[in-house]
Structure 1
């Protein structure tokens, strides 16, 4: 039987080996601070490398409730059938920071994601697919919030 101390020691050794070999997750490198700090939809998309004005597209799907009972946990899902998509982006227009989530997509990843977001007030929500050529295609839905989640 292994003691707690032995387990902790072995865990520390494994973490050290992973960090030393470069296999430890590098979450900080994937964080786009400028995009997440953007106060507007255009600012967030520009920071993510989307060129030009986004265009509405039937190939992008956004699933969101018409009315969110609790703005602290609003379920949102986005997907696309567009080819050559490099990122899927979720934006909430009236949140203090517009960008909610960025999902990097490759040929090995199906561009379909679900998450939950805080919403401080009723707002338009955008699902944006950014293609390899930098074009942004979006779907939009208004979500009414009855109880604010961003400190409201």
Structure 2
């Protein structure tokens, strides 16, 4: 049976091995600071590698018509298009528009969901960034009520 001291020792060794292998750099490589710091939808899409924004019926944004609790609004994005590189979920009126970025490969279905904080009613965008750089989007208005009393 392992005691606390041995467990801590093994954890320290594992952390050292991961650091030596460059694990923190791999984790940060997937994080796009410029995209997450962008103040509007267009800048976030551009920072994520998208060009030529075009509305598409092949992209779906998922969210409630009315969110009674703006702190945890369920949002999603999906598409059945082939050649998708990234899926983005953006909230237009948030201080930083980009809520989530998902990297897509042939082994992954482009169907994602998350929860986001929304301070006010806003358009929510789902954007599919294609391998050729095109950014296809759909939007939906989500109304946020304060305490469910209307807003």
TM-score by length of 2: 0.91
Runs of 5+ consecutive residues of structure 2 not aligned to the other structure: none
Q: Report the count of equivalent residues.
A: 147
Q: 1:16-75: CA deviations, max 9, x gaps?
A: 1222234567322221111111111111111112112x2111111111000000100000
Partner of 2:112, secondary structure, is strand
Deviation at 1:135, TM superposition (A): 0.4
Q: Secondary structure at the match of 1:75?
A: strand
Query: How far apart in 2 are the matches of 1:66 and 1:16?
Result: 48
Q: Deviations over 1:54-100 (max 9, x none)?
A: 21111111110000001000001111011100000001000011111
- Which residue is 2:81 aligned to? 82
* 1:25–1:3 CA distance, 2 compared to 1 (3 A): farther
Give 2:139's aligned residue.
Answer: 140
Query: In structure 2, how many angstroms separate the alpha carbons of the residues matched to 1:23 and 1:44?
Result: 26
Name the SS of the counterpart of 1:115 in structure 2.
strand
Q: Distance in 1 between matches of 2:21 and 2:46?
A: 34
Partner of 2:65: 66
Q: Structure 1: where are the runs of 5+ without partners?
A: none
Cα shift at 1:10: 0.7
Residue 102 of structure 1: SS of its match in structure 2?
strand
